[in-house]
Amino acid sequence: MIAKKNIATLIATVAFALSGAAHASALEQFKSFVATTKAAKGEFTQQQQRKSQTGKISPVSSGSFVFARPGKFIWNYTKPYDQLLQADGDQLYIYDKDLNQVTVKKLGNALGSSPAAILFGSNDLEKNFTLSEAGTRDGLEWLNAVPKAKDTTFEQISIGLKNGTPEAMELKDTFGQTSVLKFTSFQRNPSLGAQEFRFEMPKGAEVNKQ
């Protein structure tokens, strides 16, 4: 199973895009992405930088994502375990395929100051985050987003962009651990079906509503 901490990390998660200027600052690129990207899809990898208590390096998780603002997304882990996080704008479904178990939560304001709000939420990001330039590193222009809320799991979210396209995201939690996400095959504003985000309850699944 994907650890609960990984689930929180992800909920999501990613993705920022196209400003017309190749040398625009990270903040300019990001604001352009938020203003013009209503939906996107792509692939991701996710890994904790810190070693586990046993000294082993955390495994790399990977999968695909698709989202439509606000609050609709499918975040699908395929390796090393199958796990699905899906939201239809009203409910959040977490499906563990191995256990055939579905956890259902009211989406409500749950996105708030989480990393998911950056990707899946509304355009009013500066209401929940303090945004600032973080310089150039690894060939990317970086932007820091610090949650304004005090009860969030994350201290800082860093976004790396290149030519207006998101390529990386670093999530630093309140326990001092950093998860790194990398994005590939990013597609901006793809055509999505009307039922794209409707969750189909698996046959015989155990349902836990929270």
**Number of independent structural domains in the chain:** 1
Contacts of 178 (CB under 8 A, 6+ apart): 48, 49, 50, 170, 171, 172
Average pLDDT value for residue range 84-110: 89
Q: What is the pLDDT of residue 55?
A: 63
More confident residue, 45 or 56: 45
Q: Would you say residue 17 has pLDDT above 50?
A: no
The one-letter amino acid at 22: A
- Chain-wide mean pLDDT for the chain? 82
pLDDT confidence bin for 12, thresholds 50/70/90:
very low
pLDDT beyond 80 at 98: yes
> Across the chain, how many H-helices and E-strands are there?
3, 12
pTM beyond 0.85, yes or no: no
Picking from 41-45, 73-77, 125-129, which range would have the lowest pLDDT averaged per residue?
125-129
Q: What is the CATH number of the domain that holds 79?
A: 2.50.20.10
Query: Which comes out higher in pLDDT, residue 204 or 124?
Result: 204
- Please give the angle made by the CA atoms of 14, 19 and 22, to the nearest 5 degrees: 105
| Residue 99: domain span | 4-209
> Residue 170's beta-bridge partner residues?
158, 180
Question: How many Å from the N-terminal Cα to the C-terminal Cα in the chain?
Answer: 19
Q: Are 159 and 27 in contact (CB under 8 A)?
A: no
Query: Are 112 and 149 contacting, i.e. CB atoms less than 8 angstroms apart?
Result: yes
Higher pLDDT, 107 or 159: 159
User: Of the ranges 9-13, 158-162, 197-201, which one carries the lowest mean pLDDT score?
Assistant: 9-13
Confidence of residue 19 (pLDDT cuts 50, 70, 90): very low
Task: Report angle CA 131, 17, 136 to the nearest 5 degrees.
Answer: 55
Whole-angstrom Cα distance, residue 208 to residue 205? 10
Asked if 165 and 181 count as a contact pair (C-beta separation under 8 A), the reply is no
Kindly report, residue by residue over 141-197, the tens digit of the pLDDT.
999 999 888 777 888 999 999 888 788 999 998 888 899 999 999 999 999 987 899
